[in-house]
Amino acid sequence: MARRESTSSGPRVFFAGGGTGGHLYPGLAIARALKQLRPDVEPFFIGARRGIERDILPTTEFPHVLLDLHPLYRSKVWNNAKTVRGAIGAWRQLAHVAAEKAPSAVVGTGGYASGIALAYAAAHRIPYALQEQNSYPGLTMRFFARWAREIYLGYPEAMRHLKKAKRDALIDTGNPIEPPPSPRPDRGATRAAWGLPAAGGRVLLVFGGSQGARAINSAVAEWLRSGKRPSDLYVIWATGKGTYDEFAPLSTRGVVIRPYIAPMRDAYAVADLAVARAGAMGTAEMCAWGIPSLLVPLPTAAADHQSVNARTLAAAGAAVYIPQADFTAARLDATLRELLANPEELNRLAKGATARARPNAAREIASRIAAMLSSRERSAESRG
């Protein structure tokens, strides 16, 4: 367990979520926006030892605890004994943390740690809110939605799957991301920083998350080896750290290959279109920057939620949906050529992406949580 003690005299808010960046980073964005609105509030993060938060939370400014939590094992059900033991131990740890300083509210963002923290909140009548990133909510979100004070939706389409929630609790905020800066970076200077011509042609951004995406990488590699890339189409490609050495030799004039891109705004600032997975946060960021995208969902994502995200954005005119089974070098080449030859269609997709953008979602969510805290404080004062 990793933990830092409380340094604030204001109300404490538990942020519970993790396992993947898609569950952790929304909580961090909301917590930082909340601190800007109410500096006296103490965000405290609840994570799992086996999730990405194990590496990320110790580098942040927030106190936190990491619990020995396990997922539900659907195929190897005998492993659920570890899940039960971990949940019992985690409940005791949460009780100890809450005894030191009780939370005034809990915010669940999904993942291993959300369920136990939300159950603790429900059992102790602590108000809680949920932030659901995807168009198809996960099991934890669907279960706890019925008692949530508020549910902040990254996709308004998620409402249809949260039928047990109170209707006035469902709030379409968009996903909390770091918004594009204003003014935006100078495009020519940023292209030059990537080693690309400052003007002319178009820039294709390819990425598959921090670990990369084997299916996307393989198709892009075959396309580049075929020599079909137009000379005025430049490529910035994040392969993921695990496969960078395999694909790095394909780097050439006009093709920039990196294992990982951070901060992503340096790539978004120059991208004219993108090839990516259909994770909630990546798609939210591309919409905020108005980038047309070819979305290739991860078919093994829980409940196939990435495919739902991709179909939703395609139906909204914000993206092109290509199932992974159909994503080949030939399909990539044909789709790119069709879009590049039709600027009106590319512009239509860019406008569709911008129409779905909610760049100020983190601040909107934080303001609602701040109002929840103020209401609780007023109630406490009236009782006192």
19-42 b/e (C-beta count within 10 Å ≥ 16 → b)? bbbbbbbbbbbbbbbbbeebeebb
Evaluate whether 24 touches 53 at the Cβ level (below 8 Å): yes
- Based on the number of CB atoms within 10 Å of its own CB, is 56 exposed (0-12), middle (13-18) or buried (19 or more)? middle
All residues at 6 or more sequence positions from 11 whose CB lies less than 8 Å from its CB, including other chains: 40, 41, 42, 103, 104, 105, 373, 376, 377
Q: Cα separation of 148 and 91, whole Å?
A: 20
pTM: predicted TM-score of the whole model, two decimal places: 0.87
Q: Cα separation of 53 and 160, whole Å?
A: 30
Tell me the mean pLDDT per 10 residues along the chain, length 384: 60 93 92 97 94 90 90 68 78 94 96 90 97 92 96 95 93 94 95 96 91 92 97 96 94 95 93 97 96 96 90 97 98 98 97 96 97 89 74
In this structure, the strands spanning 233-238 and 202-207 are parallel
Evaluate whether 274 touches 233 at the Cβ level (below 8 Å): no
Instruction: Please give the pLDDT value at position 71.
Output: 67
Instruction: Please give the pLDDT value at position 80.
Output: 67
Alpha-carbon dihedral 219, 221, 223, 225, rounded to 10 degrees: -150
Q: Cα separation of 250 and 269, whole Å?
A: 23
pLDDT in tens, 358-373: 999 999 999 999 999 9
Instruction: Please give the pLDDT value at position 8.
Output: 61
Q: Cα separation of 369 and 380, whole Å?
A: 17
What's the CATH architecture for 187-356? 3-Layer(aba) Sandwich (3.40)
Report helix, strand or coil for 172.
Answer: strand
Q: What is the location of CATH 3.40.50.2000 in the chain?
A: 12-178+360-383, 187-356
Q: Cα separation of 155 and 242, whole Å?
A: 31
Instruction: Please give the pLDDT value at position 22.
Output: 86
Q: Cα separation of 294 and 292, whole Å?
A: 7
Report helix, strand or coil for 4.
Answer: coil
CATH 3.40.50.2000 assigned to 12-178+360-383:
yes
- Which residues partner with 234 through β-bridges? 203
Helices (H), the chain: 21-37, 53-56, 80-100, 112-123, 139-144, 187-193, 214-225, 244-247, 265-268, 280-288, 305-315, 329-340, 343-356, 361-383
